[in-house]
């Protein structure tokens, strides 16, 4: 018998980061730490309240929450501890599996009103060509630019150290290359000493030619990774620069990343999906109470 009970509020959002509306039926499963399904029912959003969720004061209180809906990507949280007598609130994004990117907010002329700093780092012609010809890579670029501008580093943000995006190694759905001030490496090294980043061993295994790599540790998913290619240096806009590779992985754990992301992607010729990154990082920032991950696009 449970010693006590907890409460859980599940808030559902769409690909525009708005409360889920309409007739969409969503299956929400609550699975306790022993693998027992405590609840598995269809609900309508945008908010679903669970009262009387069993708590036992042991490992069974570590719940897995899985959210699925017809025609949508599955999402969830692998483990969250529910506390007796307390309400836990979780936000989930429900994305249509075949949803399309809506890039109106990312049009070049609109960036002047919302992301003026980006205009200094991007070249308009390849930017607009990428938008028209490679929407997944364009979404990946927007994801990473947003992550860089929201990641604290030194006296500012990681984006402050970027001098320009590199177009000779064009953006891909899962990564971008950029020229950064050489002091970025020292700042990330200092951040690793405080726990904001963690160094990756043998960076050249996953990033050919890399000499150093660091992964953000703030979030439970979709953390920013900065990889340095110190053999590539140039003077850009009068500044000494080094090539940096920015990417985001689904998983924070190196072993899980290698087995569940890198290996399948390599075998099947896939790239990390920018839609999944968008969903995971948005949910992770909401859970941590950080500024909302808000790249200038939506998915509908």
Domains, the chain, in order of start with CATH, read: 4-93 (2.60.40.10), 101-291 (no CATH)
Q: Residue 235: its pLDDT value, please?
A: 97
Six-digit token string for 51:
């009262």
How far apart are the C-alpha atoms of 296 and 107, rounded to whole Å? 9
Whether omega for the bond prior to residue 298 falls within 30 degrees of 0, making it cis, is no
The alpha helices in 134-262, defined as continuous H runs, are 135-150, 183-193, 254-256
Strand arrangement of the beta sheet that strand 47-55 belongs to: 47-55, 4-13, 87-93
Backbone angles phi, psi at 190, to 5 degrees: -65, -40
Backbone angles phi, psi at 38, to 5 degrees: -85, -35
Residue with tokens 């992770």: 284
How far apart are the C-alpha atoms of 85 and 39, rounded to whole Å? 18
Six-digit token string for 93:
């994004």
Six-digit token string for 125:
């012609």
Q: Residue 250: its pLDDT value, please?
A: 85
How far apart are the C-alpha atoms of 98 and 257, rounded to whole Å? 24
User: What spatial distance separates the first Cα and last Cα of the chain, rounded to whole Å?
Assistant: 44
Q: What is the DSSP letter of 238?
A: T
Per-residue pLDDT of the chain (300 residues; tens, 9 = 90+): 667 999 999 999 999 999 999 888 999 999 999 999 999 999 998 999 999 999 999 999 999 999 999 999 889 888 999 999 999 999 999 999 999 999 999 999 999 899 999 999 999 999 999 999 999 999 999 999 999 999 999 999 999 999 999 999 999 999 999 999 999 999 999 999 999 999 998 998 889 999 999 999 999 999 999 999 999 999 999 999 999 999 998 866 544 434 333 333 433 345 689 999 999 999 999 999 999 999 999 999
Q: Residue 270: its pLDDT value, please?
A: 54
């Amino acid at each position: 018998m449970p010693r006590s009970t907890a409460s859980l509020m599940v808030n559902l959002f769409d690909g525009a980061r708005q409360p889920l509306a309409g007739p969409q039926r969503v299956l929400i499963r609550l699975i306790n730490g022993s693998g027992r399904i405590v609840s598995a029912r269809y609900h309508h959003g945008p908010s679903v309240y669970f009262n009387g969720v069993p708590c036992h004061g042991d490992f069974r209180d570590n719940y897995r929450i899985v959210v699925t809906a017809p025609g949508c990507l599955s999402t969830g949280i692998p483990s969250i501890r529910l506390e007796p007598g307390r309400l836990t609130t979780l936000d989930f994004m429900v994305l249509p599996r075949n949803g399309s990117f809506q890039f109106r907010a990312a049009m070049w002329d609109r960036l002047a009103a919302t992301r003026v700093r980006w205009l200094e780092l991007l070249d308009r012609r390849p930017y607009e060509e990428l938008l028209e010809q490679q929407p997944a890579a364009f979404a990946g670029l927007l994801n990473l630019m947003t992550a860089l501008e929201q990641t604290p580093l030194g006296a500012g943000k990681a984006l402050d150290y970027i001098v320009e995006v590199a177009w000779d190694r064009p953006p891909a759905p899962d990564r971008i290359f950029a020229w950064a001030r050489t002091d970025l490496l020292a700042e990330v090294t200092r951040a690793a000493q405080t726990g904001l980043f963690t160094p990756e061993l043998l960076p050249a295994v996953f990033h050919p030619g890399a000499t150093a790599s660091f992964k953000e540790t703030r979030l439970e998913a979709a953390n920013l990774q900065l990889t340095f290619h110190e053999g590539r240096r140039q003077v850009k806009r009068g500044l000494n620069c080094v090539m940096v590779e920015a990417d985001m992985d689904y998983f924070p754990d190196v072993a899980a990343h290698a087995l569940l992301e890198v290996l399948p992607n390599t075998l099947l010729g896939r790239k990390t999906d920018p839609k999944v990154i968008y969903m995971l990082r948005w949910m992770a920032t909401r859970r941590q109470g950080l500024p909302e991950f808000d790249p200038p696009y939506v998915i509908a």
